[in-house]
Structures are given as structure tokens and as C-alpha cells.
Amino acid sequence: MFLLFSPSIGLAHKANGSVKHVATDASAATSRISILPERIKEEAQQRVNAKWYPSLVIAFVDGNKSEVATFGKLDDGSVPNGRTVYEIGSVTKTFTAALLAEAIQSGRVKPDTPVAALLPGWKVPARSGKQITLENLATQFSGLPYMPDNLAASDPANPYANYDANKLQGFLASYELKRDPGQAYEYSNVGFGVLGFALTQPDSYGHAVQTHVFQPLGMTMSSVGLNQTTRAHLARGHNRRNQAVENWNFYVLAGCGGIDSTADDMMRYLKSNIGEISSALSPAFRLAQQPRSAVDKADRIGLAWMTRAAKPADVIWHNGTTFGYASFIGFTTDGMRGIVILSNISESVDDLGFAALSDAPLHSYRTVPVSDAALHSYAGVYKEAGGGLIKVFLRSGQVYAEALGEDGIPLFPQSTDEFFTRIPGFQLVFKRNENGEVDKLILRQKEDRIASKLSGKEAESALSKF
């Protein structure tokens, strides 16, 4: 048994740009000096105002200037800051890639080293005489599926918590590849979990990334799994229905998405990848970023890192989503701009990231004010012609629509009586009779479905079913 990594040394600053922290709210932040592009700042604030995101924390680098800007509030009413902890999800894969790149540069492994060589006694699937290599895993060309077929989480809200080495070994021993390793791109969480596990044996992934990345870069508020310190600074996560969710616990598959971090720490990681901070890891970061295979017309992939064709410069990036959080990290290939975005809801922040770094379009989730009287007029139970029931209700000033047997989805007003949702292309339009009373609901998605508002005993009976 051997430890794949040697101790890392500390880092030195190549540039002395200072970091500003800019807290924002609906009344203040846009008037404060900020290097964050105006359209990003305005849209971030608008989305928080619309309750699209509960909170956003953005670390931004422009040349030798940097700042951390915060938007929204946490569940306890406090304003997030650069030390607020978020799950970063699959952005973790770039850390796993750094461990691989460091091992390659040290000569301990090669890109074409079969992963089986790091897992003695394990049976690893192969096809057509081709073994899965470390590079196959890191570039998502392994042929392994998105998730292992024996995951069977005991707690569906915390899917990785009880997945241990024995289960992973059993999965690899029984799985038959559907294509040859190296044949095609297929995003695989289990593949990166295998990579992180194999690289760090007999150590744990958490200890390895702490020793070889967090500590050298001074990332003091980052960890694999929450500890007492990070839990005290945690932003509670939410699903797309605005419901609070539990945090994920990773075991053997931590290398695919197990890191919790902050904007301050991720700023150091971002600067190190850009090259503004020079460290012993700098060569490994550059190696990981180099594109190796085409994914589609827009993107190429290196070791985890994607490179997207963009103007004025290509963007190197990765994103992450868990059941309660979303994240994005990206920077331009010329090293001039970089961004990290963290949010505590499972709703993509990618478009904000790309728009901050390039001329990529930015969709506006602008909402309009709706009177309390109008909001309350929507509440009730609606019945479709086929008998389907939809309950509309208010919670904390937000309108929700709930089909029978499902959780309520939040509605966002684009005009009085017209609402959009987080489901692409799905709108709800309330219709009023000649007396101005809401009597119908149109569910608009590809085709219109009409539901009539119930009243009296029929409404009471329908409501009792929810």
C-alpha cells in the first residue's frame, strides 16, 4: 500500500490586487463601486428580488482587481458574505483533476495508467481489450454511466451517504460497458468518484484534497463534508420548490461532488487557476485545463475542465448542482477575468457566469409587483376538464401551484395574472369574469389546458384531498 501524493509546499502571490467585499440589497448595492459587470449585478439583484434565488455570492476577478459581491438573505435573515458556506457540487471534479494532474507531473502515474492498477484486487470493467484509464475517467470518456446502478440510497434526499467501497467494488465487478473506453463523451458521477477514490488510496479523498489543495492555497473554510466550523457558517440549501433540504454526505464517491466551500476560499482557488496566485500547484492546474477531447461544437474537455469557444476569449469552466445548491466557476483563457458563483438553491447560475466573462446572452427573470389583493384572489382549487385538481396558495408572499399528489411549484409574476415558473416553457395565466373575479386558470405548456375555479362545498371537498 502506498500514498499517491507527496506533501505540497506553500504558495506565493504573483500579484497584489486587493479583494473587496460588497454586500448588496434591493436598496443599496447598485450605487456602490463594483468591478462586477453592471448587467450581471443588475440581473443578480433582480433574480434575488424575484425570489428566483434566495442568495447569491459572487467572487469576481478583473485583471489585478477582485471582489466578493453578495445578494439576498439567508433563512435566518442575515446577509451572506465571503465566509458563508455552500455546497459546490460538481465543481469538486476540478479539485479531483488537480490531484490527478499533480500525480501525472510527479511521475507517479500517467494519463494512460489503467485505473485498475490503483485498485489491486478489484475487477474493473473493460471492453474490446481496452481498459479504463485515468484520462478516460477525468475526461468523461470512461464508458461508465452517470450513476452506479446499485446506489439504492436509504435516504433519497442524501443519495451518496451510505455508498461505501464495498458497494463501489461490487458495481465495477458486475457492470458491463456499453461502449469502449475512449469512444464517446458521457458525463459520469460514478466515474469521477472512482477516480477520486483510486487516486487517494489508502488515504481518504477528504484528507488528500485538504492536504494537497486546501492547505497550500490557504482555503481554511473548505472541507469534504461539513465540520463544526463550516456548519456554523452554512447557507441552508433549497430545492426548486423553495423547500429547505438536507446537506449531502459523501463517502466513497466524494471526488465527484463532495466539497463545501466559500466565496473567499474559491476566490483563492480561482486566482490560482488563472495564474494570479503562483503555487506548487500551478503546473498541475495548467495541465488539467488543457483541452484533450471535443465534447460538442462549443466545448472541449481537459481533466474535468471544459473550454467553451467564446468572445472576446474562450472560457474555461465547470458547474455544479446538488439537491439544494448551484455553483459555477469560469475564467477566460487570457487570464483577464474570472468568476465563482454560489447559490443555495438547486437552480443553474451558468448563464450569469458566461455572461460575466463573454458576450453570451443573459435571460432576464424580471418580475413585476402584484398587489396583495390580486395575489389573494388567485388562491383556491381549480379543476381541469379531465378531473385533475390544482391548488393555488400563498406562502411568505410567494404564490404556489400544486397538483394533487405533488409539491407546490413557485410562480413568478411577469404581469398581473400571468406567471412563469422554473419549468421551461410552463406558464400559468389566471382569467377573470365580467365582475373581475378569478374564475379560470390556463396552464400553458405546448398546448393550453383550462381549469375552472371551484367554489362552495365543491371547493371545500376538493381542498380536503390535498
Place of cell 506548487: 280
Q: Is the pLDDT of residue 378 over 70?
A: yes
pLDDT at 28: 38
Alpha carbons within 13 angstroms on the beta-carbon side of residue 16 total: 0
Pick from 59-73, 154-168, 308-322, 390-404: least confident = 154-168
Q: Is the pLDDT of residue 30 over 80?
A: no
| Mean pLDDT, residues 28-51 taken together | 82
Place of cell 400544486: 402
Pick from 18-32, 55-69, 184-198, 357-371: least confident = 18-32
Question: Cα separation of 146 and 441, whole Å?
Answer: 39
**pLDDT tens digits, one per residue of 241-254:** 999 999 999 999 99
pLDDT at 154: 74
For 319-339, the DSSP string reads EEE-SS-EEEEEEETTSSEEE
CB 400 within 8 A of CB 408: yes
pLDDT band per the 50, 70, 90 thresholds, residue 155 = confident
Pick from 17-21, 64-68, 337-341: least confident = 17-21
pTM for the predicted model, two decimal places:
0.91
| Mean pLDDT, residues 118-133 taken together | 98
Mean pLDDT of the chain: 92
| Mean pLDDT, residues 269-296 taken together | 96
Q: Is the pLDDT of residue 187 over 90?
A: yes
Q: Is the pLDDT of residue 3 over 60?
A: no
**pLDDT tens digits, one per residue of 419-453:** 999 999 999 999 999 999 999 999 999 999 999 99
pLDDT band per the 50, 70, 90 thresholds, residue 352 = very high
Cα angle 230-234-238, degrees, rounded to a multiple of 5: 145
Q: Is the pLDDT of residue 279 over 70?
A: yes
Instruction: Write the CA distances from 172 to 37, 184, 203, 339, integer angstroms.
Output: 46, 19, 20, 37
| Mean pLDDT, residues 156-177 taken together | 95
What domains does the chain contain, in order, with CATH numbers?
11-18+38-357 (3.40.710.10), 372-463 (2.40.128.50)
Place of cell 459546490: 88
